[in-house]
């Protein structure tokens, strides 16, 4: 059954935010100075989770294919890039000031504004506020030295299109892909990491002959949903939404969002866009370099069309965390907090827990051996039940207990996070056993 508009996430945002800080997934940037709005730091578990998300995307979108090439471009590009792309002119949100509380709000999101005296608000006329973050290059701070931190990662891919196509000897259809930082001076950053001022995007620009744009839009629309489903998102938490013509960005001919059911409602995590030939045509015009191609058979000159898939690392990470967090009643009446993060994405994939500190030497040796192949963690502090609970909150799919019998028979107990079942297996065979269970989906 298709998910409805009023469906509710089982997770409370405040529980998730508290767990993320407590376990060192994600917390406010510059926390000891009171934080800085719209910026976040990722601790030991958060950085591993984010890296695993990026590695999965890169494997599926770049390494696993021969028609997509990877690029890592600079964050600051020639300022003309952003004139050509339309960002200098169009990349703005309507903003109002409140004369009473002296705060700024997005004029199109006033219902959700965070204000302690909403009934007293007295707004100015809305004006357009450009979201690009500005900086200066070189010693002088004037208009001639103004540059922008990129607000999306895709523009350098269009600028690099000819160079990479020729270097990689690619023919249409083919794509360029990039993972990297993007910056937007959001008027109201909110919902934890969902809307930040600094974030990362994973973008593919797929170049096709104009006659094939519809078929490739369909292909990438399906392919990207497959990726989200492989992250563990079920039909109750994932849906797609086609943009109405009046919602389309200035460059887009068609667009569909992939939406996730967050605790704050259905929200976009990815956009799939038919950008037409807008970008290559504009960069050709503004740079004076012809980026068109010639059909080998008909000798017809044409500008390739672009199908884009653009997904945020932070929004995907937040969706994974929301999808994973559950409070579960145990048979003994206690509750456990557990993160059902898919095993291949887990920040720690295996924890080695000796039953007693006296067994530390052998257990440590096992952990060192596993660490060469998997993100492994060693913990000998506290009772075993508490150590299991700690790993449940970290999302660790397998805990391995080394006990007194292990010293004699070389067998260990593997406890699986979701079912909490335990299995006795040979320590020697453990790496192979884990390897079979921790791989990325193909």
Binding residues for ligand GAP, rule: CB under 6 A, are: 152, 154, 184, 186, 195-196, 199, 201, 203, 268-271, 308, 310-312, 314-315
Cβ nearer to ligand GAP, comparing 97 with 268: 268
* E strand or H helix that includes residue 325: strand 325-329
Distance of CA 254 to the CA centre of its chain: 23
Instruction: Find the shortest distance in angstroms from Cβ 20 to ligand GAP.
Output: 16
Cβ nearer to ligand GAP, comparing 165 with 184: 184
The full DSSP string for 255-315 is: EEEEEEEETTEEEEEEEEEEEETHHHHHHHHHH-----EE-TTT--EEPPEEEEEEEEHHH
Instruction: Indicate the residue whose CB is closest to ligand GAP.
Output: 312
Cβ nearer to ligand GAP, comparing 315 with 387: 315
Dist. CA 326–CA 285, nearest whole Å: 53
Dist. CA 171–CA 333, nearest whole Å: 62
Cβ nearer to ligand GAP, comparing 93 with 392: 93
Dist. CA 81–CA 211, nearest whole Å: 27
Residues in the chain: 442
Cβ nearer to ligand GAP, comparing 281 with 337: 281
Q: Which of left, alpha, beta for 288 (phi over 0: left; psi -120 to 50: alpha)?
A: left
Instruction: Find the shortest distance in angstroms from Cβ 323 to ligand GAP.
Output: 16
Instruction: Find the shortest distance in angstroms from Cβ 401 to ligand GAP.
Output: 40
Cβ nearer to ligand GAP, comparing 48 with 314: 314
Label residue 41 exposed, middle or buried (CB < 10 Å: 0-12, 13-18, 19+).
middle
Instruction: Find the shortest distance in angstroms from Cβ 268 to ligand GAP.
Output: 5
| Cross-strand bridge partners of residue 240 | 258
Cβ nearer to ligand GAP, comparing 171 with 250: 250
Instruction: Find the shortest distance in angstroms from Cβ 152 to ligand GAP.
Output: 4
Cβ nearer to ligand GAP, comparing 165 with 315: 315
Task: Tell me the three-class secondary structure of 70-136, residue by residue.
Answer: ECCCCCECCCHHHHHCCHHHHCEEEEEEECCCCCEEEHHHHHHCCCCCHHHCCECCCEEEECCEEEE
Instruction: Find the shortest distance in angstroms from Cβ 249 to ligand GAP.
Output: 7
**Phi and psi at residue 81, in whole multiples of 5°?**
-50, -45
Instruction: Find the shortest distance in angstroms from Cβ 356 to ligand GAP.
Output: 46
Instruction: Find the shortest distance in angstroms from Cβ 304 to ligand GAP.
Output: 17
Instruction: Find the shortest distance in angstroms from Cβ 315 to ligand GAP.
Output: 4
| Cross-strand bridge partners of residue 377 | 351
**3-class DSSP state of 352:** strand
Instruction: Find the shortest distance in angstroms from Cβ 154 to ligand GAP.
Output: 4
Token match 């096992």: residue?
366
Dist. CA 191–CA 263, nearest whole Å: 9
Cβ nearer to ligand GAP, comparing 308 with 379: 308
How many helices and strands, by DSSP H and E, does the chain display? 13, 23
Query: Comparing C-alpha atoms, which of 41, 28, 312 is closest to residue 183?
Result: 312
Cβ nearer to ligand GAP, comparing 312 with 342: 312
Question: Cis omega (within 30 of 0) on the bond before 404?
Answer: no
Q: Residue 144 CB: number of other CB atoms within 10 A?
A: 10
Cβ nearer to ligand GAP, comparing 316 with 411: 316
Instruction: Find the shortest distance in angstroms from Cβ 411 to ligand GAP.
Output: 46
């Amino acid at each position: 059954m298709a998910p409805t508009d009023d469906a509710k996430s089982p997770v409370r945002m405040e529980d998730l935010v508290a767990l993320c800080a407590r376990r060192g997934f994600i917390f406010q940037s510059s926390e000891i100075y009171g934080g800085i709005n719209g910026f976040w730091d990722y601790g030991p578990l958060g950085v591993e989770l984010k890296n695993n998300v990026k590695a999965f995307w890169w494997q599926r979108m770049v390494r696993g294919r021969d028609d997509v090439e990877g690029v890592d471009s600079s964050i600051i590009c020639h300022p003309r890039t952003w004139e050509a792309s339309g960002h200098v002119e169009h990349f703005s949100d309507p903003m109002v000031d409140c004369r009473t509380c002296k705060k700024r709000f997005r004029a199109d999101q006033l219902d959700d504004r965070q204000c302690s005296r909403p009934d007293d608000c007295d707004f100015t006329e809305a004006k357009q506020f450009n979201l690009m973050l500005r900086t200066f290059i070189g010693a002088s701070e004037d208009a001639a030295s103004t540059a922008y931190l990129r607000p999306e990662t895709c523009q350098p891919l269009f600028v690099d299109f000819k160079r990479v196509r020729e270097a990689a000897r690619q023919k249409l259809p083919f794509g360029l892909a990039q993972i990297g930082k993007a910056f937007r001076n959001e008027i109201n950053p909110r919902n934890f990491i969902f809307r930040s001022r600094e974030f990362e995007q994973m973008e593919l620009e797929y170049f096709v002959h104009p006659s094939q744009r519809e078929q490739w839009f369909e292909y990438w629309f399906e392919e990207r949903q497959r990726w989200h489903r492989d992250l563990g998102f079920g039909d109750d938490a994932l849906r797609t939404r086609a943009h109405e013509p009046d919602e389309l960005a200035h460059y887009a001919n068609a667009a569909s969002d992939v939406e996730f059911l967050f605790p704050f409602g259905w929200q976009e995590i990815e956009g799939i866009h038919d950008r037409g030939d807008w970008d290559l045509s504009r960069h050709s015009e503004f740079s004076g370099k012809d980026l068109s191609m010639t059909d080998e058979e008909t000798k017809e000159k044409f500008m390739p069309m672009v199908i884009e898939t653009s997904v945020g690392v932070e929004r995907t990470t937040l969706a994974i965390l929301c999808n994973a967090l559950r409070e579960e009643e145990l048979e003994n009446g206690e509750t456990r907090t557990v993160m059902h993060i898919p095993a291949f994405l887990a920040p720690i994939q295996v924890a080695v827990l000796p039953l007693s500190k006296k067994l530390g030497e052998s257990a440590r040796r096992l952990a060192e051996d596993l660490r060469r192949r998997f993100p492994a963690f060693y913990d000998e502090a506290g009772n075993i039940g508490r150590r299991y609970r700690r790993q449940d909150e970290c999302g660790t799919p397998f805990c391995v207990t080394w006990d007194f019998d292990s010293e004699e028979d070389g067998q260990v107990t593997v406890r699986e996070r979701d079912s909490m079942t335990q299995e006795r297996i040979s320590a020697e065979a453990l790496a192979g056993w884990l390897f079979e269970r921790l791989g990325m989906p193909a």
